[in-house]
Every structure is written in structure tokens, then in C-alpha cells.
Amino acid sequence: MTRKIMSWGQLIVLSTVLAFAASLAAVAQDASDIDTSDIAEMQIGNADAAVTVVEYASFTCPHCASFHAQAFKDLKADYIDTGKINFVYREVYFDRFGLWAAIVARCGEGAENRFFGIADMLYEQQSDWARQSDPNEIVDRLRTIGKTAGLTDAQLDQCFSDGDTAQKMYARYLQQAEEDGINSTPSFVINGTKYTNMPYDEMKDIIDAAMGG
């Protein structure tokens, strides 16, 4: 009997599938029992600002891509780059592909410095990588995005095969989503109050009110 040898791409997909399967074990164990303290909070802006805006989003969500195509750019120019707010991005994992994308965005030393740049690329190219029918193709295109951002093949191999971190990432998502009552994307928490997706002008009014303007 001849045993078919898996290609490099198939092996990578297998490892990512196993990583996602491992993360689902958090549900059976109760995600609240898993220590996720080493999963970094991805934030930009002024950490000491009086207003914090938290976005819950999935890299495979078309509405999230639309938000990042325009409204986020305005938010960044008006409030983040000017130091008026602290902005926190929290990934939502509705599917394994969203987790894989987040693995790339968080991969390697200094991930905090690359994260938002990779996130921009993931959203800009979402209609390409996330719409592939073959998981091998999705992984290959995600790897291309990661390498464009300066990651090496060795770094990506290590990150994709790190099931423990994938499990913690998934558990962290469950913990935070439960705490904030998140059931759709994008959702926003502005100084502790949850909001669903909205036009930028409405978000601006809420932020200005929270700032006392």
C-alpha cells in the first residue's frame, strides 16, 4: 500500500487545523479557567486617555473590512494619532480562518509594533485570501501577507504550529466576549458601554460626549 506524502502546504494546514481544534478544548474545560494573561492586548493611541474605544472584529467579517476601509482611518486621524483616545482591537473568532489570520498578525517578536499594519493588509486583501475555497490557498496567502510585513518562513511555521497559543487566543476571545456581551461584529465598547456597528459620525458624537465635548 502506497502512502501519499503530504505537501508542505498540507502539513501547514494540518497544523493550523490541529491548533484550532486544540483551542476548542477551552470550551469544554470552561474558558474562564484558562490563564490568558500572556496574550497581549493590542492597542494604539494614548493609553492614559480618558476615553477608551474597544473594537471587537473578525478578520473574515466583510462589515469589519468596510469599517477599516474608511471609518477607522477617520478615527485614527481624528482621535488615535492625536492622542485623544486609547484604541483597543480584540479579535473575534467565528471561524478557523479568522484565527489563522490573527495568528499571522500576532506572530513573532515585536508583534505589537506590526499588528495594526498587518491588520490593515488583512482587511484590504480580505476579498482575496478569505474567499478561497481551499484552506491551503488561504494559508499560503496569509503567509504572503506575513512575509510582506517582514516575518520569515521560520517565524510563520512556529506560529502556525503553536497550538497552546492558539488555545489561549481562543479562550481570551471567549472570556472577553462574554464579559462585554459581544455577539456580532464589528461591535464597540466605548468607556464601558457597548454599541453595535454605526456610521462614523455617530461614533464621533459618542466619543466627543465621553470626552466632555
Output the pLDDT for position 19. Answer: 52
pLDDT classification of 167: cutoffs 50, 70, 90: confident
Question: Which residues have C-beta within 8 Å of that of residue 87, sequence separation ≥ 6?
Answer: 43, 44, 45, 52, 53, 54, 55, 75, 76, 79, 80
Strand ranges, E, within the chain: 42-45, 51-57, 85-91, 187-190, 193-196
pLDDT classification of 11: cutoffs 50, 70, 90: low
Output the pLDDT for position 68. Answer: 97
The string of DSSP letters for 105-132 reads: HT-STTHHHHHHHHHHHHHHTHHHHTT-
pLDDT classification of 3: cutoffs 50, 70, 90: very low
Q: What is the mean pLDDT of residues 94-106?
A: 93
pLDDT at 5 over 50: no
Contact 90, 55 (CB under 8 A): yes
In CATH, what number does 40-210 get? 3.40.30.10
Residue 200's region, left for phi above 0, alpha for psi from -120 to 50, else beta, is alpha
Q: What is the DSSP letter of 151?
A: -
Provide the mean pLDDT of the chain. Answer: 88
pLDDT at 126 over 80: yes
Q: What is the DSSP letter of 207?
A: H
Output the pLDDT for position 8. Answer: 47
pLDDT at 6 over 50: no
pLDDT classification of 21: cutoffs 50, 70, 90: low
pLDDT at 137 over 70: yes
CA-wise closest residue to 64 among 184, 178, 147, 150: 184
pLDDT at 155 over 70: yes
The whole-angstrom separation of Cα 71 and Cα 39 is: 27
Contact 149, 63 (CB under 8 A): no
Angle between helices 111-124 and 96-105 (to 10 degrees): 130
Residues in the chain: 213
The whole-angstrom separation of Cα 130 and Cα 28 is: 28
Q: What is the mean pLDDT of residues 51-67?
A: 98
Highest mean pLDDT among 1-10, 24-33, 90-99, 164-173: 90-99
pLDDT classification of 28: cutoffs 50, 70, 90: very low
